[in-house]
Amino acid sequence: MSHPNLAMDGARILVVDDAPDAIRLIDGLLSPHYRLHVACNGESALRILAGPLPIDLILLDVVMPDLDGYEVCRRLRALPGREDVPVVFLTGNRDPASETAGFAAGATDFVSKPVSAPVLLARVRTHLNLRAAASALREQNRTLEARVAERTQALSQLASELAERNSELDRVRDAIFLAFCSLAEARDNETGNHLLRTQHYVRVLALQLRRQPQYAGQLDDTAIELIFKSAPLHDIGKVGIPDAILLKPGPLNAVETARMHEHPVIGRDAILMAERLLGAPLPFLRHAREIAYSHHERWDGLGYPEGLAGEAIPLSARLMALADVYDALISRRVYKPPLPHATAVDMILADRGRRFDPLVTDAFAAEAATFAGIAGRYRDE
């Protein structure tokens, strides 16, 4: 069974690849940190996985003779005890059809070939952390359920146990968020300060918006805290976008734009995968899933990926949409200089009722000076 320190030295990784050069490269990158086992084809990998050897993560080449990576992944998912082992495909083909086939076969993630050392190390560390957090949560639930069953007669002790459970769940929740955030930052072309700024913008908007009677019930302290912690995951789906598009210094063409528009779906699917690993949908991941999937929807229905309009867009995503656009306007990007705060404010107010929820826009207008303060406090150096 995995443990919370899996991302440290000692985790067992199975590398499946028929190319000796690829195996040597991966061995050089990972063997200083993890225990590596190697299979040169799909049949050898399945024999290893059918045995008792603990495996915490699998790096699986897609193009191999006899059994390709898709078939190996489908078969290993049917092996007892291997259902939740993260499988990261190694592939030079990242077209949407191939990725869809990979996820359908049971893949957890993709790493492009030729392998980038920082990306591979970050993905391995993140998926081990995520699996460890999920395992810790399941183990904690089993332990606490047993304790509760034993102590049903002691109500005061039961209350203490439930309080301990909530504390443990909070820590596991934070560990999962941390793992996801490290995955997002591994590929994002924006800075960590962008994540901090948008977090604080979203909280300021939520606190202002809950003064409106129709939103007071949706934005209690717990909901606002969960939205605040989920905000850094809004662009986690960019891990699935090729560097050539993500880091392009100029405008994207139509094909590149269509590919970039896939990142909300990739982000949502990553969070759904986490929920499947945890065994059930969890409230603290709901906001993260909504934000990742819907923060590019528009109030007038002209956004993506679904073209949702008005209040059909989740409230957390409506808050994130405005916060993300404001920060993009005032920030330097490879394709544009930063705009002054006042110009950004005018542009956002001009989109009231078109791109943005009118009441969210009004909350922004009331807090524009606060936004400027946050931007200054967490500015990029």
Q: How many CB atoms lie within 10 A of CB 305?
A: 15
Cα separation of 114 and 251, whole Å? 26
Summarize pLDDT for 345-355 with one digit per residue, the tens. 999 999 999 99
In 3D space, the residue among 108, 103, 82 whose CA is nearest the CA of residue 179 turns out to be 108
Q: Of 113-117, 186-190, 256-260, 321-325, which range is least confident? A: 186-190
* Domain covering 12-121 assigned CATH 3.40.50.1970 in the classification: no
For residue 274, give both structure tokens.
Answer: 């986490």
pTM over 0.85: no
User: Residues 6, 132: contact at Cβ < 8 Å?
Assistant: yes
Q: Of 74-83, 295-304, 307-316, which range is least confident? A: 74-83
Helices (H), the chain: 20-30, 42-50, 69-77, 96-105, 117-150, 155-187, 192-209, 213-216, 221-230, 243-246, 254-260, 263-278, 283-294, 315-330, 341-350, 358-366, 368-377
Element spanning 229, H or E:
helix 221-230
pLDDT class for 156, splitting at 50, 70, 90?
very low
For residue 219, give both structure tokens.
Answer: 């934005």
pLDDT class for 161, splitting at 50, 70, 90?
low
The pLDDT of residue 349: 98
Mean per-residue pLDDT for 231-246? 82
Q: What is the mean pLDDT of the chain?
A: 84
Judged against a pLDDT cut of 70, whether residue 26 lies above it is answered with yes
Residue partners of 358: CB distance under 8 A and separation at least 6 = 299, 352
Cα separation of 214 and 265, whole Å? 29
User: Residues 111, 125: contact at Cβ < 8 Å?
Assistant: no
Cα separation of 310 and 88, whole Å? 38
* Domain covering 189-377 assigned CATH 1.10.3210.10 in the classification: yes
Judged against a pLDDT cut of 70, whether residue 342 lies above it is answered with yes
Query: Looking up tokens 């005032």, which residue turns up?
Result: 330
Helix 358-366 to helix 192-209 angle, to the nearest 10 degrees?
100
* 261 backbone dihedrals φ, ψ, rounded to 5°: -70, -5
Half-sphere exposure for 323 (CA within 13 Å, toward CB): 31
The pLDDT of residue 163: 47
| Full DSSP string of 340-368 | PHHHHHHHHHHTBTTTB-HHHHHHHHHTH
The pLDDT of residue 76: 92
User: Residues 137, 95: contact at Cβ < 8 Å?
Assistant: no
pLDDT class for 149, splitting at 50, 70, 90?
low
